Structure 1
Amino acid sequence: MSATKLPHEPLAHFLQRLPPASAPYTTPRHLLPRWYWIANPHATDSPQAADSTGGDVAAFASAGAALLAEFRQAAALQSNVGRVDGFREVLAREIGVLAKRYGVAVGKWMLFPRESEVNEVWRAVCEGVDAGRLGVGAKVSTSGLEGDPARLICVYTRDFTDVADVRRVLDALVALGLVRADMPQGIMYKCDAYTHLGIYEGNEYGLRASMYGSREMLAGGWGGGLGK
């Protein structure tokens, strides 16, 4: 059974066939995929392809590791904090250049609905993706993560350095009623490139693992940060 919406499958049939809320209770664990996927039928690529066969992750990781090593060496020899901040800005830009060169520039806005709400939220996301209003695709976790009953829905954009497109997708999520400007925590945007390089919160490079935040972006800033 495919865990992805098939090319000519009606959206209603896909949602009925694979409701995420009941997945861990109706499917044996050894048969349960980690994610259910939907691709934007109007896009030329998909995040699922980038997760598997698309992009040269190994080449990107190798080139990115060299960049990180250069930053560590330069930062270790520099006592001027302002200079180190400058190195960090260059590092972030060069990671973006490499990600596009090797085809691993996808990123995602992340939603964490409760299990009781996940079907409704996933339906709204799928309708937006299928109509071409959101990004290149989306996925939903089929069970809670690490003991947390909340599910994860990722809404992908093609290029994390394309701030206008990242903002466009955020605005679409707002229009769908899935994000509000006054949400206490908002939602965050992460890029897969940082994950491939092992860059997480509190990393030694001072890069923000969550590149953009909905609260900052909707308030008029782009909500990203090159520093901590």
Structure 2
Amino acid sequence: MDSDESDFYGDDEMVGDLESRVTAFDISQWWEETNAASVGRKVKKEPLDSTKLHNPYAGVPYAWQLTETVNDFLDRLPPETTEHSEHLPWIFICNPYIHRQEKFNSQNQRSRGNEDEAPEEEGSRLDTLVEGGTERLEILLNYKQGVENTKKTKAWMLFYQPKDVNEVWNIIARATANNELGIAAKVAPWNPYTDPTGRKDRIICVYTANFSDMTDVTRVLRRLRELKLVELMGRPIYYKPDAFTYLGIAHGNHWGMKASIYSSKDVLS
């Protein structure tokens, strides 16, 4: 290293020390230490037997942790009154019986605004979907093939009034933790900036592993119905591909595409 570089980067000993610190940096620990204090109450550290359980959102303060009971999680982050913020975009729970990629190592962490979609399956190619899918949206056949070969997760979307959201979320969170629904679920916290009166409906997403597995998709919907959550809405619920979210296909998009694939009426008819 010449003198100019040494002045800028430091000597060899300093560079070596910094490189070793970067290598040893634990982003999960940093996230918890930096942000947990701003996300409701801190997670209670109660050791559980988690040798056979998985949590892609381990260390994320706005998600359920295997070190706390579901009841403690629900008390810590009630969606009706928990405020949305930069550090609390969603309230999340993962099915601990299904293994998925850790959040901090997932490709969606590089997709701004989509960091909290369904936990990714090992080997999924989100980059291929976004790059190739965006270029080929006008060629629907190629697009469909690209989606089927990459991001297969989708979610049943449910909307509830604020007065009902805590009760409904409690049911869905417990069912997810008990392996009765899909791979994960999330609920929108209260956003005082877009909803100062707190009267807007809240969205809850219940994720399934594979949209092409209609047996599983239907099973999750039937379980939601058994839990009396479909009828409670008084209207159909809809099933939206994660791929649509990553590609920005929302209601009223300029491609003229529906923002969902089908509704509960389609599946149960």
Q: With structure 1 as the length reference, what TM-score do the two structures score?
A: 0.73
Q: CA offsets per residue over residues 133-171 of structure 1, 9 Å max, x none?
A: 100010011125944621111100112222221111101
* Residue in structure 1 matched with residue 72 of structure 2 by the alignment: 13
Residues 39, 129 of structure 1: 8 Å contact kept: yes
Report the Cα distance in structure 2 between the residues aligned to 1:119 and 1:183, rounded to whole angstroms. 14
Matched-pair contact (CA < 8 Å) for 1:107–1:190:
yes
1:41-190 → structure 2 map (5 Å cutoff): 41-45=96-100, 51-52=108-109, 54=120, 55-69=124-138, 71=139, 88=140, 90-91=141-142, 93-99=144-150, 104-143=151-190, 146-147=194-195, 149-180=200-231, 184-190=234-240
Question: Where does residue 226 of structure 1 map in the other structure?
Answer: none
Q: Taking structure 1 as reference, are residues 199 and 134 closer, same or farther at Cα in structure 2, changes over 3 Å only?
A: same
Identity %: 32
2:229 aligned counterpart, secondary structure: coil
Cα distance in 2 for residues equivalent to 1:170 and 1:183: 14
Q: CA RMSD in A?
A: 2.7
Superposition deviation, residue 20 in structure 1: 1.0
Distance 1:95 1:50 in 2: 17
Distance 1:13 1:184, change over 3 A: closer
CA positional deviation for 1:203: 4.4
Inter-partner Cα distance in structure 2 for 1:159 and 1:93: 14
- Structure-2 change in CA distance of 1:176 and 1:51 (3 Å): farther
Structure 2 residue matching 1:166: 3-state secondary structure: helix
The aligned length equals 192
Q: Are the aligned partners of 1:39 and 1:47 in contact in 2 as well (CA < 8 Å)?
A: no
Higher relative contact order (CA 8 A, sep 6+): 1
Q: CA deviation at 1:93?
A: 3.5
Given that 2:133 and 2:143 are in contact with CA atoms closer than 8 Å, whether structure 1 keeps it comes out as no
TM-score (norm 2): 0.63
Whichever residue aligns with residue 218 of structure 1, its letter is L
Please list the CA deviations of residues 195-227 of structure 1 after superposition, one character each: whole Å capped at 9, or x if unmatched. 2223233445554321120012111xxxxxxxx
Aligned-partner Cα distance in 1 for 2:170–2:149: 34
Q: Distance in 1 between matches of 2:143 and 2:212?
A: 10
Separation (CA, whole Å) in 2 of partners of 1:47 and 1:165: 23
Cα deviation code 1:84-134 (max 9, x no counterpart): xxxx4x3464133232xxxx2211111111111111000000111011010
Which residue matches 2:4? none
3-state SS, counterpart of residue 133 of structure 1: coil
CA offsets 1:42-78 (integer angstroms, 9 cap, x no match): 1112796575374443332112134325x1xxxxxxx
| Displaced runs of 4 or more, over 6 A | none
Aligned to 1:196: 246
Does the CA-based 8 Å contact 1:35-1:141 persist in structure 2? yes
